[in-house]
Amino acid sequence: MAEEVPEPTPTAPPPPVAARPPSEDGAVANLDLILDVPLAVTVELGRVRMPIRELLALGAGSVIELTKLAGEPLDVLINGKPVAHGEAVMINDKFGVRLTEIVSPTERVERLR
């Protein structure tokens, strides 16, 4: 199911991002302004819809069948928007996600609309 992955070794922080060259409208984009903005990252295993009656009947040991099949890639969402797909891995005693596909920038922009 989940693959054992060695714990990552600490690395030096990346160098500061330099200002981008002026864009077509002459504005200069500086990514340094937003690098520390926190974003909600979610890894979705699957989904299911169920009536309240079934929801209230759930208890310890209940199994909820999800729409995804075993072995399908997990969805990685940032602020609720899909940005990547991956597979579950184990890092010591914790779960992690190995990214296997990044959604193209064009597709990400399209989904924002």
Domain boundaries, the chain: 36-113
What DSSP string runs through 29-68?
Answer: --GGGTTT----EEEE-------HHHHHH--TT-----SS
Q: Can you give the pLDDT at residue 110?
A: 77
Q: Which residues pair with 94 in a beta bridge?
A: 91
Q: What average pLDDT does the segment 13-28 reach?
A: 50
pLDDT digits (tens, 9 = 90+) for 27-57: 446 777 888 899 999 999 899 999 999 999 9
User: What does 72-105 look like in DSSP terms, one character per residue?
Assistant: PPEEEEETTEEEEEEEEEEETTEEEEEEEEE--H
Query: Nearest 5°: CA angle at 87, between 55 and 69?
Result: 45
Give the residue-averaged pLDDT of 60-78: 91
What CATH number belongs to 36-113?
Answer: 2.30.330.10
pLDDT at 102: 94
Report the mean per-residue pLDDT for the chain. 80
**7 with 92: CB under 8 angstroms?**
yes
pLDDT-based confidence at residue 98 (cuts at 50, 70, 90): very high
